[in-house]
């Protein structure tokens, strides 16, 4: 059994006769019949019944044809992948990102990138930074955008961006009158905190301790988006990335600067021992532009 015999069988099945198959393949009808017979001998079962000079697929032939169609779909995918690699490098981009930047920086970067590269296949997932790190370290994803508290072993790391922390307040909250919110202003306020492993949370706790302030934490969550939703619902206050809070401002949430200045720090990570493709380098440039 060889690929040419499989191709001839497929064309006979789709065209209905050996004569039409011969026209499609630009060969003689006897050559088509010979290749079908050789294929049947190699398979050790009949693909067709010969009835008054016409070919009628056997049940085995029908089953085999289904498998052939699946194989040709795979070949079609390979041809497309080869064309993308020829024209665009790897031809696909797999990106994973922490939730806080998945609704702002990443969409802006992807829009600009895809406008210029419409034939690039993009896979995108928003996950916790620790999960993003594992996806990239295992080689399943080409690029990760993560918070700086991740385990850096097994990935290549570069600094990405810093975003100054803001305090999110429910609309109409008494602290809205303040131009700047300080730790002492948060005494007795219900507080929605980031997860304990978050670097920004640890820095905030140091600022509260230095100010002699005890915070009343009512909810913990690893996601800035969740903090924004909880604040907009009136549950409490929370420290957030201003970019993450953009969709909520004016919809139940108000932002105020927080002092002392704290920052969310983010990293770009790539798989170890792998040179970035041209399209990955181009996307990283767009990502840095989108982050400002």
Whether residues 257 and 176 share a domain: the answer is yes
Average pLDDT over all residues of the chain: 90
Amino acid 80: pLDDT: 67
Whether residues 61 and 125 share a domain: the answer is no
| Domain span holding position 100 | 92-162+266-290
Whether residues 43 and 172 share a domain: the answer is no
Whether residues 151 and 271 share a domain: the answer is yes
Q: Is the pLDDT of residue 81 over 80?
A: no
User: Residue 154: which CATH number?
Assistant: 3.40.190.10
Percent of the chain with pLDDT over 90: 60
Whether residues 184 and 254 share a domain: the answer is yes
Whether residues 9 and 123 share a domain: the answer is no
Amino acid 50: pLDDT: 85
Whether residues 211 and 172 share a domain: the answer is yes
Q: Is the pLDDT of residue 191 over 60?
A: yes
Whether residues 174 and 107 share a domain: the answer is no
Domain end (from 55, 88, 121): 88
Whether residues 119 and 154 share a domain: the answer is yes
Q: Can the peptide bond before residue 285 be classed as cis, meaning omega within 30 degrees of 0?
A: no
The total number of structural domains in the chain stands at 3
Q: Within 10 Å of residue 115's Cβ, how many Cβ atoms?
A: 9
Whether residues 155 and 270 share a domain: the answer is yes
Whether residues 122 and 141 share a domain: the answer is yes
Amino acid 278: pLDDT: 85
pLDDT in tens, 85-125: 665 555 689 999 998 899 899 999 999 999 998 888 899 99
Whether residues 114 and 156 share a domain: the answer is yes
pLDDT in tens, 144-165: 999 998 999 999 999 999 999 9
Amino acid 84: pLDDT: 59
């Amino acid at each position: 059994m060889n690929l040419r015999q499989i191709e001839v069988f497929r064309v006979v099945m789709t065209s209905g006769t050996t004569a039409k198959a011969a026209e499609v393949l630009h060969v003689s009808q006897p050559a088509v019949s010979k290749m079908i017979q050789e294929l049947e001998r190699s398979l050790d079962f009949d693909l067709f019944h010969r009835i008054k000079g016409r070919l009628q697929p056997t049940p085995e032939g029908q089953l085999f044809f289904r498998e052939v169609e699946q194989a040709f779909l795979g070949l079609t995918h390979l041809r497309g992948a080869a064309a993308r690699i020829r024209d665009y490098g790897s031809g696909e981009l797999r990106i994973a990102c922490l939730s806080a930047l998945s609704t702002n920086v990443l969409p802006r970067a992807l829009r600009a990138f895809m406008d210029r590269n419409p034939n690039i296949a993009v896979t995108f997932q928003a996950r916790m930074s620790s999960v993003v790190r594992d996806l990239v370290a295992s080689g399943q994803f080409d690029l990760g955008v993560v918070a700086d508290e991740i385990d850096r072993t097994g990935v290549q790391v570069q600094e990405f961006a810093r975003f100054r922390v803001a305090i999110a307040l429910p609309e109409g909250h008494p602290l809205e009158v303040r131009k700047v919110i300080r730790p002492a202003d948060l005494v007795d306020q219900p507080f929605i905190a980031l997860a304990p492993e978050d670097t920004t949370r640890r820095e905030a706790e140091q600022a509260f301790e230095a100010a002699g302030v005890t915070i009343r934490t009512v909810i913990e969550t690893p996601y800035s988006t969740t903090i924004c939703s909880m604040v907009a619902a009136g549950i409490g206050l929370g420290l957030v990335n201003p970019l993450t809070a953009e969709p909520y401002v004016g919809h139940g949430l108000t932002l105020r600067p927080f002092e002392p200045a704290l920052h969310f720090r983010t990293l770009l990570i790539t798989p170890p021992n792998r040179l970035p493709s041209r399209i990955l380098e181009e996307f990283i440039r767009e990502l840095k532009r989108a982050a400002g």
